[in-house]
Amino acid sequence: MANKQSLLTGAPGRSLLLFALPIIIGNLFQQFYNMADSVIVGRFVGEQALAAVGASYSFTNIFIMVAIGGGIGSSVLTSQYLGAGQLERAKEGYRISYIIILCFGAIIFIVSQLFYRPLLSFFMEIESSPVAYATGESYVRFIGCFLSFLGFKACTDGILRGAGDVIVYMLGNLLNLSIRVAVAQLCSPVWGIQFVWYAVPLGWFVNYVISYLWYRTGHWKRKELVKGP
């Protein structure tokens, strides 16, 4: 029992809690945003728009998984290199992640602009719902121009998480989701459903700028999550 208590209340337990809690809070806010997004979109053309958004999200999830993978990779490499005292390798890995994201971003951009119709047809019946198709086309072609921001954000967040510097990571993601909800909620009823789309890259960009500026301060270099003996 004593050993169990020491694991929970000792340095490893505190480190785990400090690392996990901001990620848990961020994921909870992401689910809240998903629900709010569905409600906002549903106000325009009801179930047709929701079907279109679902189909469009299925497409963008392909790149989102790439971005998440890049973020996880950055996090793992950063923690390993900092633990080994190889700071320059961590920074090199971060720079390489930009090249990978740019390559995938260029591919997704081309696909979203030229092949959006066959892609949407995998997830919805285009002929039976022209309104939903028009909504989905608008979203896919627009968001395809900005998905690289999501990749840059994910990799920058990853390097902060890997170093255990999670407070700014959490705040940046909360601000990201808050901006997306606020812009969609306040602007879309006045200027149209397109502002639901505009809110997404705006939130990504603000989140990325915050994380990148914090990365540039170098504070993460002194925040190894796991220090050697």
Span 39-70, pLDDT tens digits: 666 665 556 666 666 767 777 777 777 777 77
The highest-confidence range among 56-60, 61-65, 121-125, 198-202, by mean pLDDT, is 198-202
pLDDT for position 88: 87
Token pair 């002194």 in the structure block, residue: 222
Q: How many CB atoms lie within 10 A of CB 84?
A: 11
Average pLDDT over residues 105-134: 78
At residue 122, the 3 state secondary structure works out as coil
pLDDT digits (tens, 9 = 90+) for 132-171: 777 778 888 888 888 888 889 988 988 888 887 888 888 8
Please tell me the pTM assigned to this model: 0.80
Domain regions of the chain by residue span: 19-222
The region of weakest confidence among 23-37, 186-200, 201-215 is 23-37
